[in-house]
């Protein structure tokens, strides 16, 4: 192995050993009011962010390392692990992308800062940011009305009207009138 490759391998080993040692501390850093422990995606993101910060690992390598450390403790299926990993990646990319720990802190102080930031993190905002970045694809929905809900509601009305429900037939007539009125309205310039 060349000098650079062996240096990277030693760095990755040190990062893995550090992460393994910190796993037990994750739940000890709950908020002051005894809030809930971190969710699985946040636990993975915490370890990944720690090794990314402390050992200058790329995000993908840090996520793989964190997943390896926590895989047995999470005790779940492969599919669920993929989902959790995807959520952890979203946290790192859209929730804590600009996180910076204090440079003179110990490993536990750094982990405490990370866990504190994760407890304050709004996962809904993270998933909305991911959805906006990916155009509603890859695990997120665009903010705003969902066209599928409207389509499902109209399909339900059609089925009820076909079964003879007079109220559903009247509501379908109102929906049709709204659509006609919207088509007849002049377009905004």
Q: Which of 37, 18, 9 is nearest to 110 (CA)?
A: 18
Answer yes or no: do 128 and 161 share one domain. no
Answer yes or no: do 75 and 161 share one domain. no
pTM of the complete model: 0.60
For 57-119, give the secondary structure using H, E and C.
CCHHHHHHHHHHHHHHHHCCCHHHHHHHHHHHHHHHHHHCCCCCCCCCCCHHHHHHHHHHHHH
Report whether pLDDT(2) > 60: no
Q: In the numeric block, which tokens belong to residue 176?
A: 């049709």
Answer yes or no: do 160 and 126 share one domain. no
Q: In the numeric block, which tokens belong to residue 71?
A: 């895989």
- How confident is the model at residue 170, as a pLDDT? 92
Domain of 62 in residue numbering reads as: 3-133
Answer yes or no: do 54 and 78 share one domain. yes
**Residue 189 placed within a domain:** no
Q: Is the dihedral of CA 48, 51, 57, 62 positive or negative?
A: negative
- How confident is the model at residue 74, as a pLDDT? 80
Q: Which residue has the higher pLDDT, 168 or 11?
A: 168
Q: In the numeric block, which tokens belong to residue 102?
A: 């204090």
**Residue 140 placed within a domain:** no
**Local structure of 188: helix, strand or coil:** coil
**Residue 76 placed within a domain:** yes
76: left (phi over 0), alpha (psi -120 to 50) or beta: beta
- How confident is the model at residue 21, as a pLDDT? 60
How many Å from the N-terminal Cα to the C-terminal Cα in the chain?
A: 65
- How confident is the model at residue 183, as a pLDDT? 75
Contact criterion met (CB below 8 Å) for 38 and 46: yes
Contact criterion met (CB below 8 Å) for 74 and 84: yes
Provide the angle, in degrees to the nearest 10, between the axes of the packed helices 78-90 and 59-74.
Answer: 140
Q: Which residue has the higher pLDDT, 11 or 105?
A: 105
**Residue 162 placed within a domain:** yes
- Which residues 6+ apart lie within 8 Å of 63 measured at CB? 44, 48, 85, 88, 89, 92
The string of pLDDT tens digits covering residues 118-129 is 888 888 888 888
Number of domains in the chain: 2
- How confident is the model at residue 166, as a pLDDT? 92
The string of pLDDT tens digits covering residues 41-98 is 988 898 888 888 888 888 888 888 888 888 877 888 888 888 888 899 999 999 888 8
Average pLDDT over residues 19-43: 67
The string of pLDDT tens digits covering residues 120-160 is 888 888 888 888 888 766 555 555 555 577 778 888 889 88
- How confident is the model at residue 28, as a pLDDT? 64
């Amino acid at each position: 192995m060349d000098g650079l490759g062996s240096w990277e391998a030693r760095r990755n080993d040190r990062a893995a050993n550090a992460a393994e040692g910190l796993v037990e501390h994750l739940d000890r850093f709950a908020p002051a009011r005894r809030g809930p422990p971190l969710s699985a995606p946040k636990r993975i993101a915490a370890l990944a962010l720690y090794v990314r910060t402390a050992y200058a690992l790329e995000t993908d390598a840090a996520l793989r390392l964190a997943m390896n450390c926590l895989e047995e403790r999470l005790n779940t299926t492969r599919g669920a692990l993929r989902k959790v990993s995807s959520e952890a990646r979203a946290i790192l990319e859209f929730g804590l992308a600009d996180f910076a720990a204090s440079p003179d802190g110990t490993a536990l102080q750094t982990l405490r800062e990370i866990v504190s930031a994760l407890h304050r993190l709004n996962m809904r905002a993270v998933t909305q940011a991911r959805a906006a970045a990916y155009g509603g694809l890859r695990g997120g929905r665009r903010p705003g009305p969902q066209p599928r809900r409207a389509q499902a509601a109209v399909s339900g009305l059609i089925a009820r009207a076909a079964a003879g429900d007079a109220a559903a037939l009247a509501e379908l007539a109102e929906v049709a009138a709204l659509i006609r009125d919207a088509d007849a309205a002049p377009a905004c310039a």
